[in-house]
Amino acid sequence: MTHEIRWSGLLMALGGAIGLTGMFALAMSGWLYWRESRRQRSWTPVTAEVLGHEVVRRTGRAGTSSRNITYETRFTVRYQVSGQTLTSRVGIGYGSSRRSVMDQWAERFPNGTPLLLKYNPRNPVQLMFSDRQAGMAHTGPKSLAMWGGIILGIGAIAWTSGKKAAA
């Protein structure tokens, strides 16, 4: 009986901790979405032409963990601002540990493809995908929200299982 109570209590605590992590991820995704939405409203829309793309490998560390390898897709584009032709780079807003995922993003927009972007009126070489470019805006916050929801669900299942075991 005491082992069952310990396990149920541990399961509830673990479920609660996992659930809180999921809620934090959801809150962060909401904040990131809000921040990007503000930029979407204040930056100027422009249509750019894809000149090329690259999938970049990034290596970093998160805390004391081993190296984390992430791939990001960046496009080189040409566009007009106040009659001046500019060339710059724009990323899709998030990365993946799987290069194939980023290769698929790059293949969606071959050279010569028009992209709906927005530029920073204070610094026109700063670009981001427009919310009108299907599926491209808010990709980072959407991905974080999806994982936050999954983590929250796992936490809820663990907590509920612990509660049922205690009853």
For residue 134, is pLDDT > 70? no
Residue 53 has pLDDT above 60, yes or no: yes
Query: What pLDDT does residue 63 have?
Result: 52
- 37 Cβ neighbours under 8 A, 6+ residues apart: 131, 138
Is 2 within the bounds of a domain?
Answer: no
Q: Is the model's pLDDT at 82 over the cut of 90?
A: yes
Q: Does a structural domain hold residue 157?
A: yes
Residue 26 lies in a domain: yes
pLDDT higher than 70, residue 66 = no
Q: Quick check: is 3 in a domain?
A: no
Nearest-angstrom CA–CA distance, 140 and 36: 10
Q: What is the mean pLDDT of residues 142-150?
A: 78
Q: Which amino acid is at 140?
A: G
Cα distance between residue 77 and residue 137, in whole Å: 17
Residue 1 belongs to some domain of the structure = no
In a domain, 5, yes or no: no
* C-beta atoms surrounding 97 within 10 Å: 10
Please give the average per-residue pLDDT across 57-85, as a whole number.
Answer: 82
Report d(CA 140, CA 138) in Å as an integer. Answer: 6
**Tally of domains within the chain:** 1
* pLDDT value, residue 163: 75
| pTM beyond 0.85, yes or no | no
Residue 37: how many other CB atoms lie within 10 Å = 14
pLDDT of residue 52: 96
Least confident of 95-104, 131-140, 155-164: 131-140
Contact status, residue 29 vs residue 145, Cβ threshold 8 Å: yes
Assess if residue 61 is contained within a domain: yes
Quick one: DSSP state of residue 66?
-
Q: What percentage of the chain reaches a pLDDT higher than 70? A: 86
- What's the token pair of residue 93? 């807003």
Burial per residue of 7-17, b for 16 or more beta-carbon CB atoms within 10 angstroms, e otherwise: ebeebbebbee
* Alpha carbon of residue 89 to chain centroid: 18
42, pLDDT greater than 90: no
Q: Is the residue at 18 inside a domain?
A: yes
The domain of 121 spans: 11-166
Q: CB-based contacts of 52: which residues, under 8 Å, 6+ apart?
A: 75, 76, 111
